[in-house]
Amino acid sequence: MYRVFKMFSISVPITLLAILFVTNAFAEKIIIRADETSFPATYKKDDKWEGMDVDIINELLSRANLESKYSQIPFQRSIFQIKSGEIQLIPNLVKNESRSEYMHWLGPIRVTCIGLVVQEKDMQLPIKTTDELISVALQKQKKIGYLIGASYSPSLDERLENDAKLRDVLYFLPDNSQHRQMLKLGRLLGYFYDAFEIQRRIADPDFSAEFNGLALHDYRIKDSCTGAYIGISKKMDNEIYQKIIHAFQEMHDDGTFTEMYLKWVGREPNF
């Protein structure tokens, strides 16, 4: 009986330690939504995640001593998952009132404007306003690609909800790579996308081939020039959240953020 009791007394602490270790490892595994087509924010090269936001997140989590896992998830699904806490971070987001109900915001990481990707032959189309965009789309009998779940500006969100004419000229898809292929085939007039990202992708030798025959139009969505942020689930443990906030402040204080910004944007941040 003594031997049984002794073995039990030794095994219980060991078992508890093992459980605690597994629990803590699971709790501190940060799941990040990434998009392999969102160069230069997040993308894959040689089967490895890279990008401006990837660099920043990796540095953040390293300083906070947190493990991470990047996951390619359709955008709309990732919004539901960050609400529930299934994933913890979504980079490259525009913050708005509705998202702020279930996300904290880290940033801005950079300033972004939402532009219109078109075929090169359509770069001079007379489009300066959303009304002109609708008019040209109707005239050409082609639609504009819109990413399901995206929020490009408060004014466009409101108009999208109340303007049937705008909704009628939009073509909703879960993946911008589908929009790109449809545009190349001439089935769309264009699609909305981050102007900074598109300019970088078109100029980058690793990605320019994907955009042969495409260009960025001068049109910008009204009120869309704003910060791009990292969204953090409000379901995240507060202690872990504070570690990330502290690490981000450290990166600003010691110049690491500025170095990364220079690497990807080519100038110092002005915010």
> In sequence order, what DSSP letters do the residues of 100-168 get, joined into one string?
GGTEEEEEEEEEE-EEEEEEGGGTT---SSHHHHHHHHHHHT-EEEEETT----HHHHHHHHH-HHHHH
Sheet of 42-45, strands arranged across: 37-38, 42-45, 48-50
Tell me the CA distances in angstroms from 10 to 5, 15, 23, 24, one per residue in order: 9, 9, 20, 22
Full-model pTM: 0.72
- Phi first, then psi: give them for residue 186, nearest 5 degrees: 80, 15
Tell me the average pLDDT across 115-119. 98
Which pLDDT score, from 0 to 100, does residue 27 have? 45
Per-residue pLDDT tens digits for 127-146: 999 999 999 999 999 999 99
Which pLDDT score, from 0 to 100, does residue 215 have? 96
**Is the confidence at residue 111, as pLDDT, over 70?**
yes
Tell me the average pLDDT across 59-86. 96
Per-residue pLDDT tens digits for 194-234: 998 899 888 888 888 989 999 999 999 999 998 999 999 99
Per-residue pLDDT tens digits for 244-261: 999 999 999 999 999 999
